[in-house]
Structure 1
Amino acid sequence: MTVEKLITDHIDIWSSALQTRSTAGRGSNGKIDLYGIKKLRELILELAVRGKLVPQDSNDEPASELLKRIAAEKAELVKQGKIKKQKPLPEISEDEKPFELPVGWECARLGNTVAIIRGITFPANEKHREPSEGKIACLRTANIQDNIEWDDLLYVSKSFVKRSEQFAEKGDIVMSMANSRELVGKVAYIYDIPTGEATFGGFLSVIRPYGVNASYLMSVLRSPNIKSILIDSSSQTTNIANISLEKLNPLVISVPPIGEQNRIVSKLEELMSLCDQLEQQSLTSLDAHQQLVETLLATLTDSQNAEELAENWARISQHFDALFTTEASIDALKQTILQLAVMGKLVPQDPNDEPASELLKRIEQEKAQLVKEGKIKKHPPVEPLGEPALLPRSWLNIVVQDFADIRLGSTPDRSEKKYWNGDIPWVSSGEVANEVILDTKEKITPEGFKNSSTSMIPTGSLLMAIIGQGKTRGQTAILGIDACTNQNVAAFVFNQVLVEPEYVWIWAKSKYLSHRGDGHGGAQPALNGKKVRSFIFPLAPIKEQQRIVSEVKRLNDICDTLQSRLQSAQQTQLHLADALTDAALN
């Protein structure tokens, strides 16, 4: 089977094998990893370096002759003092040959076919962002992407370039020698040097081919088998993996005749272009699908009345299985359910319900009594924070401090061992992650509790992280236990008979992005107690709150079922892509 046929016959598998990444990226589907197309690219590279991509030609000069010429050229360059003489590398044993080679191919040590040159070193205070007299552009690991990125360079004194071979040349392959495990060994090709002259830093090496087609060698270094060998041979210190010249020079690579190298490179360009088209079509299709989903879901939140909402929901229901087929579309559905819930559009109003205005009076009476008893503080009125929603007549826009007492915790002195490892649960902001909290990573002692300003928060209270890295700020959780918190968590304490805790949680999750945006500050924006007390809150009649919670649970169960089916289907597609790859190689 030709590779083209392998691609076209199984195009549905390559296109539909998707994985969800944790980090965001391009477009609305930045969290989608096109796993099938990635596997296809890897397969094409692996077929190329095993001699299975293009047919062999018996008229080609065998690779053994090419290797003799390379050895002679390197010996001459050593004689002229242009490159250093390297230590002889050991002969390649049969065990080191990773697969059977076609006739005319040879295995060779990388160091015998290229010059490998380590980059320059210089003090940290010698890095400059702008070019100037006597300075030279210096590539670093950040510049080594799929191609060299020349728009974010450092400049260093030319005096740090000790040998002429440390000047970058067109046709060089630059390798990242120190990086994360995922990125170590990454290579990029120098097609041109837009700065005129350039060098490269100590975490990089230049691989300078002699007689081998540099594009073919790039394919070798990017092939899954070689990448795996490089990563496994690297030494690991904290989060950085290092590849040494001692590991790189003896690396065993497959060398075809030069004529076949050129044919392989031509075929690779053709097939990788096909992969590019397939990738672009997949991304365009995913983005179009997500836009359609979001447009249709927006008709629900924009519905002016119950009849229009029912009509819009019926339209979506007809195409449910076709619409909610990705993680992003199911997430959008979940978010829409939350928004409808707090807009009063998820369940019908019941004229027999006690209206929110009467409910608020009861809440205010109770709060006034608690203030009188000194159990909570009285706060002055606040300016509402957020956009007031257009609500049903039986609802009210209030602010959080109208129904909840907001309490910030604290951290007992870490240097006092007697304050820690007790039995009082203590919640940090990192644990506030859209879950019900039933236990905590750390616990404090009664002495630690007494000697800090934290307070005991009752079960059922809502917690909100008001500061934290990444997604943390604005995230919420429900307490499933009595616990105290640190100073980076705001606890909503309220009468759970008058206000349903899970309804408050639904509101908080529906406003996550809005609440995050209300955080201000320097490097780590933060919310504070006053801002949290000022958030606008849609108070619904208590019976309607309970109906909303019940309906959100029902709909979330449907979403979870969709998600489970999707994950199962995705796993099947991933296994199919892996099986197809293995079958093609073996």
Structure 2
Amino acid sequence: MNNKQLKNSILQWAIQGKLVPQDPNDEPASVLLERIRKEKERLVKEKKIKKDKNASIIFRGEDNSYYEKFLATGKVKCIDEEIPFEIPQGWEWCRMGCIGDWGAGATPAKGNSEYYGGNILWLRTGELNNGVVYDTEIKITEKALRECSLRLNKVGDVLIAMYGATIGKVAIAGNEMTSNQACCACTPLGVFNYYLFYYLMGSQTDFVKKGEGGAQPNISREKLISHLMPIPPLNEQYRIVEQIQRILPLIERYSASQNAQDRLNAEINEKLKKSILQEAIQGKLVPQITEEGIAQELLEQIKQEKQKLVKEGKLKKSALNDSIIFKGDDNKYYEQINGQVAQIECDYDFPGNWTIVRLSSICTLVDGEKKDGQQICLDAKYLRGKGTGDYLQKGRFVQKGDNIILVDGENSGEVFTAPCDGYMGSTFKQLWVSSVMYLPYVLNYILFYKELLRKSKRGAAIPHLNKEIFYSLIIGIPPYQEQVRIVNKINEICSKIKV
């Protein structure tokens, strides 16, 4: 159960009389409702509120059914089908219109500058905060209050959004304020305002359902005042609110803990994968086996492969400019380029049977072969299975099984295998990887460094795969059979942690 579900459960228990015990010494709610009716009659006579033409009394008959008697006509009808749950002894059902004075707001004409910039608070439903609202972004003038049929809500009035994205959201007025037409306010006349506040908060789902069917959910003032509401004795209302306010901070603490756990659960597999990969690239994931030899001989094979591809025009001559990295007698790493030797920093201490190279020695980014003729466009949307693919008449051609790497955008550094022949998207380059490297291992290594590889072009906000960083990364190459064992071990572990 998440925090929202737990909070809703607490509020449901509260309005069903299950959150606090009943006290037989409490004045029953029927007496409270009669007092509210008399108070409303007085305010109507004094012309402070309008008469409710649909005022009614809900009672339980001798047959144990619920009935509603309309005070204006004396008409009585059975409402058993409307009663959503049983309430405790001493509680009563009533329409929400019976417990206070309800009124919606209005919006002064936006083009009239004399209506805005005053000192009177004007609330929009987006400012309802399920708490107490003390201030609003927009203020209106006394002139707007006089001329625009605005209701000036009192301190302590309960506010609720009637339609739109915020439908059912509530607040209590911390200061006098007006509101827009999407907000309805109630001045309770005997009911504890915080009980009404929490009741409305717990009934949000019901209000949304009542508002369905139009272009946007709309519960309207009429639907609100006709909504059935359980009324506990006044003293019990105070006990209910006190208990809710004691519990809600605990729910917030639970929510914070739950959110932290959810984040951990969401991240743990990826973090484990990165930890496993880090062990792999240091030679710590599987043991070294002497009989598998050393990786030095792979460098010569890589060089021969590159020379062949350069002759075929598939790689540039610059791809042959490799350096030699070795470990000196002093256990420090050195790099030889064109006969010049210099000490270098190396993140890891690789096993002795491994060979150490720059990533440029085994990987090259190329543009792909230019070709004309209809081919599918291998863009990121298509490769992620979120698009059907567009067909182009020319582009940079790659074959099914070729590796291509995203070089622009938030996910730059992401590697894909071409699922079919096609043209690379404009933000991709082809990634050549030496055939003597066990491919998944190399790609995993590249993906591991994806964050490091991202760097915006100068003057641009879009992340870009930085070629210099990409080519300069130092990687340890195990003997081929150890590569196979490493990747098999990675796959074995990842299958268990569902990465």
By how many angstroms is 1:426 displaced? 4.0
Native 8 Å contact 2:117 2:138 kept in 1: no
2:363 matches 1:403: yes
2:76 matches 1:104: no
CA distance in 1, matches of 2:109, 2:460: 27
Describe how 1:328-477 pairs up with structure 2 within 5 A. 328-350=267-289, 359-360=298-299, 362-376=301-315, 389-392=347-350, 394-399=354-359, 403-407=363-367, 426-430=377-381, 441-444=387-390, 448-451=391-394, 453-459=395-401, 461-464=403-406, 466-467=408-409, 472=411, 474-477=413-416
Provide the residue aligned with 1:313 in structure 2. none
Q: Considering fraction of residues, name the structure with more helix.
A: 1
Q: What is the DSSP-based 3-state SS (H/G/I as helix, E as strand, rest coil) of the residue aligned with 2:240? A: helix
Tell me which amino acid in the other structure corresponds to 1:65: V
Describe how 1:128-167 pairs up with structure 2 within 5 A. 134=118, 136-148=120-132, 154-158=137-141, 160-161=144-145, 166-167=151-152
CA distance in 2, matches of 1:352, 1:49: 75
Provide the residue aligned with 1:253 in structure 2. 229
CA distance in 1, matches of 2:149, 2:36: 21
CA distance in 2, matches of 1:391, 1:368: 30
2:441 matches 1:503: yes
2:196 matches 1:217: yes
By how many angstroms is 1:552 displaced? 0.5
Q: What is the DSSP-based 3-state SS (H/G/I as helix, E as strand, rest coil) of the residue aligned with 2:389? A: strand
Describe how 1:9-20 pairs up with structure 2 within 5 A. none
By how many angstroms is 1:335 displaced? 2.5
Provide the residue aligned with 1:189 in structure 2. 172
By how many angstroms is 1:367 displaced? 3.7
By how many angstroms is 1:87 displaced? 5.9
Instruction: List alignment gaps of at least 5 residues for structure 2.
Output: 57-67, 69-77, 323-344
The 3 A distance-change label for structure 1 pair 485 and 168 is farther
Provide the residue aligned with 2:463 in structure 1. 526
Q: What is the DSSP-based 3-state SS (H/G/I as helix, E as strand, rest coil) of the residue aligned with 1:405? A: strand
Provide the residue aligned with 2:485 in structure 1. 547
Native 8 Å contact 2:108 2:148 kept in 1: no
Provide the residue aligned with 1:56 in structure 2. 22
Provide the residue aligned with 2:335 in structure 1. none
Say what the alpha-carbon RMSD is for the aligned residues: 4.5
The 3 A distance-change label for structure 1 pair 100 and 549 is same
Native 8 Å contact 1:137 1:199 kept in 2: yes
Tell me which amino acid in the other structure corresponds to 2:388: E
Give deviations 1:508-563, integer Å, cap 9, x for gaps: 342344445x3469997332574785573625234433222111011112223xx9
The 3 A distance-change label for structure 1 pair 388 and 460 is farther
Provide the residue aligned with 2:210 in structure 1. 233
Q: What is the DSSP-based 3-state SS (H/G/I as helix, E as strand, rest coil) of the residue aligned with 1:54? A: coil
Structure number with higher relative contact order (C-alpha < 8 Å, ≥ 6 residues apart):
1
CA distance in 2, matches of 1:377, 1:283: 54
By how many angstroms is 1:42 displaced? 2.8
Native 8 Å contact 2:400 2:417 kept in 1: no
The 3 A distance-change label for structure 1 pair 374 and 331 is closer
By how many angstroms is 1:337 displaced? 0.9
CA distance in 2, matches of 1:498, 1:343: 19
The 3 A distance-change label for structure 1 pair 236 and 115 is same
Provide the residue aligned with 2:431 in structure 1. 492
By how many angstroms is 1:338 displaced? 2.1
The 3 A distance-change label for structure 1 pair 402 and 553 is closer
CA distance in 2, matches of 1:458, 1:149: 61
The 3 A distance-change label for structure 1 pair 475 and 71 is farther
Provide the residue aligned with 2:475 in structure 1. 538
Tell me which amino acid in the other structure corresponds to 1:234: G
Q: What is the DSSP-based 3-state SS (H/G/I as helix, E as strand, rest coil) of the residue aligned with 1:442? A: coil
Provide the residue aligned with 1:304 in structure 2. none
Q: Considering fraction of residues, name the structure with more strand.
A: 2
Give me the TM-score of the superposition, normalised by structure 2: 0.72
2:7 matches 1:41: yes
Tell me which amino acid in the other structure corresponds to 2:197: M
Instruction: List alignment gaps of at least 5 residues for structure 1.
Output: 1-16, 18-34, 291-325, 413-417, 434-438, 564-586
Tell me which amino acid in the other structure corresponds to 2:464: L
Give deviations 1:103-158, integer Å, cap 9, x for gaps: 3322222233234443443678999xxxx96355544444333435768x523443
Give deviations 1:198-252, integer Å, cap 9, x for gaps: 44445443343222111111221222xx2321222234788x6444334333222
Native 8 Å contact 2:121 2:140 kept in 1: no
Native 8 Å contact 1:216 1:264 kept in 2: yes
The 3 A distance-change label for structure 1 pair 347 and 164 is same
CA distance in 1, matches of 2:473, 2:414: 17
Identity in percent: 28
The 3 A distance-change label for structure 1 pair 265 and 135 is closer
By how many angstroms is 1:474 displaced? 5.0
43-52 vs 527-536, greater mean Cα deviation? 527-536
Native 8 Å contact 2:405 2:428 kept in 1: yes
Native 8 Å contact 1:427 1:442 kept in 2: no
CA distance in 2, matches of 1:358, 1:122: 82
Provide the residue aligned with 1:244 in structure 2. 220
By how many angstroms is 1:179 displaced? 4.8
By how many angstroms is 1:49 displaced? 0.7
Provide the residue aligned with 1:169 in structure 2. 154
CA distance in 2, matches of 1:460, 1:189: 62
